Structure 1
Amino acid sequence: MHGETRLPRNAKEGILFLLIVSIISVNTIAPVIVGLERGFSKEVYLDTLKILPFMWVIVVLLVRLVAGPVVRTVLPRLVGQTDGFNARVLLNILLNVTVLSILLSIIGTWVGTKHISLEPIRNFLHIWPRNFGVAFWIELLVAQPIARFAMKSIHARQDRRTKSMDV
């Protein structure tokens, strides 16, 4: 995927990509899941806003320390040399969302209730599929496309700058 304009090309762009995806994801996925759990109301949304900074830090740490390494190990075993960009991106999203939704279905409940209990583990088979579905579609249709568009825009601007310096 070297040279792909829709993906980060260096560490700085990688951080920007992660920030865009994580901020969009936390600000959309968490309120939808909490709304589905407790009902959609202004009070529920305002309560959710209070935990979002903590959830954002947790999500970034889980992406960097758990999901990223797992996906980097599993992904090469599942993709073929002839698989295109969209197939690789879809599989990457599927694997990341699977790992994160499993962990966050438990950890997110603990953070949201401010109480560590066995409840999210007991209810895991009930809550995880819903959480996975919400997260997968938001990642696939909103967060990832916006982050890839940002990368493409940055690279187009860099290319224009490089071409104007060559002239």
Structure 2
Amino acid sequence: MFNVIFIVTAMSLIMTVVGAVIAGEYVNEILSNYFLIWTRNFCATFFINIILAEPISRFVATKVNNLFNE
């Protein structure tokens, strides 16, 4: 669980800025609304990671590990 929280926190912190820059927002807008936007991004990323990404990556890692252990 620590790994999920650490990855989601780092990813949402970085992607909040990167996504806003790609969307064409100005730096002042990003900084003034950063914590509001980051909170929303963190919640969305956390649930997507737990529901989709983690089970898929665990399944693939298990299959690859079993392939090399045979």
Structure-1-length-normalised TM-score:
0.39
Task: Give the % identical residues.
Answer: 27
Q: Deviations over 1:76-111 (max 9, x none)?
A: xxxxxxxxxxxxxx1111012112212221221111
Choose from 57, 67, 70 the match for 1:157: 67
Structure 1 residues 29-68: aligned runs within 5 Å: none
Aligned match of 1:111: 22
Aligned match of 2:47: 137
| In structure 1, distance between residues paired with 2:14 and 2:60 | 28
Q: Which residues of structure 1 form unaligned runs of 5+?
A: 1-89, 161-167
Aligned match of 1:79: none
**What is the count of residue pairs matched by the alignment?**
70
Q: Which amino acid in structure 2 is aligned with residue 159 of structure 1?
A: N
Does 2:36 correspond to 1:126?
yes
Structure 1 moving runs of 4+ over 6 Å: none
Offset at residue 136 of structure 1 (A): 0.9
Aligned match of 1:96: 7
Higher relative contact order, chain-length normalized (CA < 8 Å, sep 6+): 2
| In structure 2, distance between residues paired with 1:95 and 1:157 | 29
Structure-2-length-normalised TM-score:
0.83
Q: Which structure shows the bigger proportion of residues in helix conformation?
A: 2
Larger Rg: 1
Q: Which amino acid in structure 2 is aligned with residue 107 of structure 1?
A: V
| In structure 1, distance between residues paired with 2:69 and 2:44 | 36
Q: Which amino acid in structure 2 is aligned with residue 93 of structure 1?
A: V
RMSD of aligned Cα (Å): 1.5
Aligned match of 1:148: 58
Offset at residue 116 of structure 1 (A): 4.1
Offset at residue 131 of structure 1 (A): 0.3
